[in-house]
Amino acid sequence: MSLALSTLIYEWRRYMAAVVALAFSGLLILAQVGMFMGIGRAFTAQIDRARADVMILAPGATGLGNGPSGVPRRILPTIYRHPDVVQVAPLDGSGGRFQNIVPADEAAEAQNPNQRTGAEGQGGGQQGGERRRMEFVNVTVVDPIPGYVTVPTDYSDELLEALRRPYAVAVDETALRRLGVQLGDKALYNGKTIEIAAVTRGYPNMMQATLIMSRDTLRMLGEADTGPRVGPLMVKLRDASRADAVAAQLNAQAGGQYRAWTRTELARANANLMFQEQIIGVMLGFSVFLGLLIGIAITWQTLRGAIMANIKEFASLRALGVSMPSLRRVIMELSFWVGVAGILAAGALTWGVGLLAGANGVPMAFSAFWIGMVSVLLLIIAIASGFLSLGVLKNSQPADLLR
């Protein structure tokens, strides 16, 4: 093992500050990226698991739910006319006020500040103990027919059966707490009674909770689209592998009224949308800058201190004829290993934070690209710090050992 690596391992305490600084610099960036990507993935989950092979959006739309949405109802039959198309259905949705229903007496108790902790201590069981909640929610519609184009691929038949009942809704498990409901509870949506008939998994609700309901239920609630425009169209093809060709053909005859996307095309566009937001770019840029600054400052000073602690040993090597460039190489190797340790620590830390966030309904997602980028950045920080601390080697004057 080399001198640098042995020293780092044996005297790890000395280098701890640098490793921790690098770990937090990495976390600062990775946690944000992870959060944005997690949000982005929640958006794309819907697309990734859609049965539609082609989706028809308004001409200027840059993603599902971004830019102008919806198309004229008139184009529905034109899409149908394409020989490869077997199903076409508009996405429909709505949004409104959601309230949980709390039995009157327990509500009073829960609202009483003196006993609030006791009431919450029951953990929000099915029989109450919940506080009254009022949340704004999104509504997304499916046609609860097994295998239908609007039904996500991972919906079970039981889930669809539950949604076929009037006024039945499904919510994701990550939204239960926010909405203050349990499976089987009744609740109010825009003043009308609905029932939590199913709980989904894997559809995290980041900004607002989402209710899934059947098209019929939405109609009964009086909120279905009936006007001249409908939501984006979900199109199922006889042969999914023809998606590219069909999308191109549909686009050729669009006449500026719509734009057809293949599912993969749309998923990619949606994932990237998040990072095109200027504010996110600014935030990330600022974090990178901050991470770089703090990382270098702390790592540099730590390395300096650690080298100074061994300066006599370095001086004795100089006396024995080891050249200055050789000693510099030792320092650079040392800072490289500090960087590697920092990357590992950043990974562990981010993993922990990711678990914690996931458990609290903010799932994070990481891509190899960003992990690679942050690793490279941490390595750059470490090596730059090494460069900066080369100056202290001037203190390794072997003549000082002779006194």
Partner 1 sequence: MTPKSTISGRHGEVAVAAEGLIKRFKTGRTTIEVLKGVDFDARHGDLTMVMGPSGSGKSTLIAALSGLLRPDEGKVAALDQPNLWKLSDGKIDRFRLEHCGFIFQGFNLFPALTALQQVTTVLGYQGAEKGEARQRAKAALEEVGLGPRMNQRPSELSGGEKQRVAIARCLAKNPQLLFADEPTSALDGENGQVVVRLLRRAATEHGAAVVCVTHDPRLEAWADRIIRIEDGRILEDQRRTPDPNATLSH
Binding-site ranges for Mg ion (CB under 5 A): 403
Nearer to partner 1, 9 or 207 (CB): 9
Nearer to partner 1, 249 or 310 (CB): 310
Q: Closest separation between CB of residue 13 and partner 1, Å?
A: 11
Asked if residue 392 binds partner 1 (CB under 8 A), the reply is no
Q: Closest separation between CB of residue 383 and partner 1, Å?
A: 21
Nearer to partner 1, 237 or 317 (CB): 317
Residue 65 has a CB neighbour count (10 Å cut-off) of 17
- Contacts of residue 334, defined as CB under 8 A and 6 or more positions apart, other chains included, come to 4, 7, 8, 303, 306, 386
Nearer to partner 1, 239 or 313 (CB): 313
Of the residues 161, 310, 358, 388, which one makes contact with partner 1 according to CB under 8 A: 310
**Block residue for tokens 């609202």:** 111
Burial of 13 (0-12, 13-18, 19+ CB in 10 A): exposed
- Contact predicate 40/274, CB 8 Å: yes
Burial of 390 (0-12, 13-18, 19+ CB in 10 A): middle
- Contact predicate 360/201, CB 8 Å: no
As given in the structure block, the two tokens for residue 343 are 């990357």
Which listed option, Mg ion, partner 1, none, makes contact with residue 201 (CB within 5 to 8 Å by class)? none
Q: Closest separation between CB of residue 296 and partner 1, Å?
A: 25
- Contact predicate 85/149, CB 8 Å: no
Asked if residue 11 binds partner 1 (CB under 8 A), the reply is yes
Q: Closest separation between CB of residue 387 and partner 1, Å?
A: 21
Of the residues 104, 158, 321, 394, which one makes contact with partner 1 according to CB under 8 A: 321
**Block residue for tokens 């990495």:** 26
Q: Closest separation between CB of residue 320 and partner 1, Å?
A: 6
Binding mask 128-157 for partner 1 (x = CB under 8 A): ------------------------------
Rg over alpha carbons for the chain, rounded to the nearest Å, is 29
Which listed option, Mg ion, partner 1, none, makes contact with residue 315 (CB within 5 to 8 Å by class)? partner 1
Nearer to partner 1, 111 or 323 (CB): 323
Of the residues 248, 293, 348, 401, which one makes contact with partner 1 according to CB under 8 A: 401
Asked if residue 308 binds partner 1 (CB under 8 A), the reply is no
Nearer to partner 1, 252 or 320 (CB): 320
**Residues 349, 351, 354, 356: is their CA dihedral positive or negative?**
negative
Which listed option, Mg ion, partner 1, none, makes contact with residue 319 (CB within 5 to 8 Å by class)? partner 1
Q: Hey, what amino acid is at 33?
A: V
Binding mask 258-297 for partner 1 (x = CB under 8 A): ----------------------------------------
Nearer to partner 1, 10 or 289 (CB): 10
Asked if residue 403 binds partner 1 (CB under 8 A), the reply is yes
Of the residues 326, 360, 367, 395, which one makes contact with partner 1 according to CB under 8 A: 326
Of the residues 312, 333, 344, 358, which one makes contact with partner 1 according to CB under 8 A: 312
Nearer to Mg ion, 394 or 403 (CB): 403
CA gap 262, 246 in Å, rounded = 9
Nearer to Mg ion, 201 or 403 (CB): 403
Contact window for partner 1 (CB under 8 A) among 9-17, 163-171, 259-267, 283-291: 9-17
The residue whose Cβ lies closest to Mg ion is 403
Of the residues 221, 317, 371, 378, which one makes contact with partner 1 according to CB under 8 A: 317
Residues within the interface to partner 1 (CB under 8 A): 1, 3, 6-7, 9-11, 310, 312-313, 315-324, 326, 398-399, 401-403
